[in-house]
Copies of this chain bind each other. A is one copy, B any other.
Amino acid sequence: MQQKLGWEVGFAKNGNELPTDWHMASVPGAVQEDLLPTLERQDWYFSDHVRQFEWMEDVYWYYRATFRKPQVALDESLYLFIGGIDYSYRIQLNGREVFNHEGMFSRFEIELGDELKETNELLIIIDPVPKSMETPSRDQASKSVKPAVSYGWDWHPRLVSLGIWEDICLKTNKSKGFKPGIHYRYQLEDDPCEADIRIEGSVGIEEGSVVFSISEGGDQVFRETFNVSKDWVIQTKFSPGKLWWPYELGEPFRYDCKLELRGADNAVIDQYEWKWGFRKAKLIMNEGAWDEPSRFPKSRSYPPITLEINGQRLFAKGTNWVNPEIFPGKITDQRYEALLILAKEMHFNILRVWGGGIVNKDYFHEWCDAHGMLTWQEFPLACVNYEDDPGYLKTLEVEATSIIRRLRNYASTVLWCGGNELFNNWSGMTDQSAALRLLNALCLEHDPGVPFIPTSPVAGMGHGHYLFWDSETNEDVFQLMYRSQNTAYTEFGMPSPSSVATLQKIIPAKELKVPVENTASWRAHHAFEAWIGNTWLCEPIIRKFMGDMDTLDALVQKGQELQAIGYRAVYEMARQQWPYCSMALNWCYGEPWPAAANNSIVEYFGFRKPATEAIKMACRPQMVSARFPKYEWNVGELFYFDLFFFNHHTKALTPGDIEAWVNGHHVITWHIAKTEAYQNAVGPQVKYRLKPGDDALKVDLVTADEVWNSTYTLKLKKQEDDQGQVLNM
C-alpha cells in the first residue's frame, strides 16, 4: 500500500514559528515554484525576473500534511517514505520531532505505528539555504552536499532550490518481513567469470530463511537458501551466462533477482525483487601512456582513463549531463527519456553526470541500465574548496554512502568521480583533501569493483577550450585539437545562441536585434559577461568566421552552424587520437533553464541545435574521418589533411577504397585492406593546392558504404575578411 499526502507550504523568519500563510504545494517540487503565484512575475525565466526568488534562500520553509490514520492489515506496519528533501530538515508528527537529516540524496522509511492518532499532522521544517560564508558565490556551498551549480555558475543563474524534490508517501511494509534498506552488490571476478555477491538486510523475525534466486526470462538459473536471523549478510557466487554490455558492444542483458523471506514453517513472508546486469568495469592505461615520462628526472605516468567493459576497451563518446530542470523536483521521467533517447541516437555511449548538479532520479539510471548507456557518476562537489570540516565530512559520508548503495545496483554505473575540477586553482582542493580521500574509501568499501577518480581533469586529461577561437593564442578549435595530446577530452565547449523561438520567450522584443546589446536580460541569460570575453554569445567570433549578418535570425543560424562545425571537429579529432586518447565529452548536453547562449546542444524547451546532427555524424561507430590542421584557408595555399577510418566495433572490417575529393576534384584513393576490431586505420595525407578558381572549400570522402561517408565544409578566406575587423573578446 502506498498513499500520497496532500501538502501545503509556507515560510517563516525562523524555525520555531509557523508560517502565517499556507500555499498549495506541488510534491515533488520546489518551494520557489509553489510560491510563484504570489510573485509579481510568473514568467520567472523572462528577462532578469529570476532574481525574484532571492529572498527565499534565507527563510525557513514548512510543509504541512493532514491525514487520517490509514487502515493497515494486521501483519503490516505503516511507514513514512522520504525519497529526498532539499536540503536540511526535521519532521514533526503531531507536534513531536520524529526525524531530522541534512542532505537531499538519502532515502528513509520511518515507522509511524505508535505515533498515530485518528487525525494526524505531518510538519516538515526546512532550514534556509546552507551558506558557509556571507558573500554570495558558489563558495557558500563549501560545507554542504548540495549541488553547487544552484549558487550560480557561468551558465546557470543563482537559484538555490529547496523543498521536497522526490516522492514522499505513506506506505506499508510486512511487519515480519524485510526491513527497509536491503543492500546488495557484486564484484565480477575475471577468471573464472564469477560474481562475488553480498546482500545484507534485516527482517522482522528472529529466525528464518532467505531464498535468493536469479532468473532469465522466467527460468530460474540460480537458487540458494540461507538461514538468517534478524540482521543478516549473505554471500554467494554466481557465474552469469550472459554479461551486461554497453549497447554498441552487445546486449545490456539483465537478470531478474529475487529474495524470498520464509518463516520457520517455510511459508513465504515477504519478497524483494530487482534486475541485475553483470559486468566488469575497469580503467586501463591508455595506449602509449606507459612510455611517458621518458627522460630524467622521471615523474609518474599519466593515470589510466580508458574504459574497459568485460575485457573490451572502448572509446567513450558522450556528454556532460547537467540538470534538465533548474528545480530538480520538476524533472519527470518523460523529460529524462526524451534526452536519453536523443543521446543514444547521437551514438553517445557514456554520460558524465557532472558533480555541480544533482544525483539523478531512478528513472535516469533505470533507462541507462536497460539501454546499455554507460554513466560516469560524480558526487556533488564542483569548483569549490570543500573543507576538512568534521560536520561536513560526516554529512558527506552519509550522503555518499546512500548514493553509492543506490547507484552501484546499476551495471551502467561504471565510473565514480569525486567531483568537477577540484584539483585546479579555481577550486583549490588537492589529493590531501579529506573529502576526496573519504569518497575514495567509501567507493572502495561499497563498490570495490568499479573504478574511482578523485576529479576531472586528472593528469593527462584536458578540460576546455570552450570557444571556437581563442583570441589570446589566435587559435581556432581545429588548431587547438591538432596540437593537443590528451588521454581524454572530458569537457570541451562550443557556444551558440539559442534559437529565436527561445530568445523570444526570455528577452524583451526591443532587444531582439543585431548587433546584440549587452543588457540585463541578455546578461541574466549568460549571453554576456558569463566567462572570459563576451561569452557565451560571442557575436564577434561568429562574424569573424561566418561573415556579417544583419538579422537576429541570421546570427542565430550562423552561430549554431559554427557550433556544429566546432563540436564535430573536436569529436572527430579526439577519436583520431585513439587509442592514446579514449574519451570525448562535450560541455554540455542540455540546460536547466532557457539560456540566451550556451555550450549546450539541446535547448531548455527541447529544441535541438544543429550540433546534435553534426555530432551524430562525428560519433558513428564506423566512418571515414579527416584531420584538418586549421579551419580557415587561403587561395594559393597548400591545403592538406590526413585520413582516418574508425572501426569502433567488435568485428574486423574491410572498408575497401576511400576516395577523397576536394571541391569536386578527385585527389586520392586510399585502399584499406582490413581494419581490426576497435582500431583506427591511419591513411595518407591528402594535398591540394587552392587555386583562384576555388570559391569554396568542400571535402567529400566517399566509401563503399554511404553510411561511412563524410563531407566537410571549411572556410576559404577571401581577402576582404581581414579588413576593418576589430575583435573585442
Residue positions of A touching B, CB distance < 8 A: 282-283, 285, 290-291, 295-301, 303-304, 423-425, 428, 430-432, 434, 437-438, 440-441, 444-445, 448, 451-453, 455, 457-465, 470, 473, 480, 484, 486, 489, 492
Contacts and interface: CB of A to CB of B under 8 A. Distances in A.
Contacts of A441: 437, 440-441, 444-445
Contacts of A480: 296-297
Contact of A424 (B282, B283, B300, B434): B300
A36 B298 CA distance: 41
A290 B463 contact: no
B432 A437 contact: no
Nearest to A466: B296
Given A432-B282, A434-B444, A296 B464 contact: yes
Contacts of A434: 444, 448
A437 B444 contact: yes
A135 to B, nearest CB: 21
A516 to B, nearest CB: 25
Given A301-B425, A452-B437, A459-B459, A296 B470 contact: yes
B459 A424 contact: no
Given A430-B304, A431-B304, A441-B440, A299 B470 contact: no
A283 B460 contact: no
A698 to B, nearest CB: 29
A465 B430 contact: no
Given A431-B458, A437-B452, 15 more contacts: A291-B425, A296-B462, A296-B463, A296-B470, A297-B463, A297-B486, A298-B424, A299-B457, A300-B424, A300-B458, A301-B424, A432-B451, A432-B452, A440-B441, A441-B444
Given A432-B283, A441-B440, A452-B437, A299 B460 contact: yes
A448 B424 CA distance: 23
Contacts of A445: 441
Contacts of A423: 300-301, 303
A438 B431 contact: no
A473 B295 contact: yes
Nearest to A460: B299
Main secondary structure of the interface of A (DSSP, over half): loop
B301 A465 contact: no
A431 B453 contact: yes
A465 B296 contact: yes
Contact of A489 (B297, B428, B458, B460): B297
A431 B460 CA distance: 13
A414 to B, nearest CB: 12
A299 B283 CA distance: 18
Closest 6 CB pairs of A and B: A297-B462, A441-B441, A296-B465, A300-B423, A296-B464, A290-B425
A444 B444 CA distance: 13
Contact of A464 (B298, B301, B458): B298
Contacts of A492: 297
Contact of A459 (B300, B484, B486): B300
Contacts of A489: 297
Given A480-B296, A480-B297, A437 B437 contact: no
B300 A455 contact: yes
A37 to B, nearest CB: 45
Contacts of A462: 296-299
A525 to B, nearest CB: 25
Given A424-B298, A425-B301, A452-B437, A283 B464 contact: no
Contacts of A470: 296
Contacts of A452: 432, 437
A146 B695 CA distance: 72
A425 B283 CA distance: 16
A431 to B, nearest CB: 5
Contacts of A291: 425
Contacts of A424: 298, 300-301
Nearest to A441: B441
Contact of A299 (B298, B437, B461): B461
Nearest to A423: B300
Contacts of A438: 444
A430 B464 CA distance: 25
B444 A486 contact: no
A330 to B, nearest CB: 33
A285 B385 CA distance: 14
Nearest to A295: B473
A352 to B, nearest CB: 15
A285 B451 CA distance: 26
11 contacts: A282-B432, A291-B425, A296-B463, A296-B480, A297-B457, A297-B489, A299-B458, A300-B424, A303-B430, A304-B432, A440-B440
A460 B440 CA distance: 22
Contacts of A425: 290-291, 301
A458 B282 CA distance: 21
B300 A457 contact: yes
Contacts of A444: 434, 437-438, 441
A465 B465 CA distance: 36
A109 B672 CA distance: 71
Contacts of A290: 425, 428
Given A432-B451, A441-B440, A448-B434, A463 B303 contact: no
Contacts of A463: 296-299
A438 B448 CA distance: 10
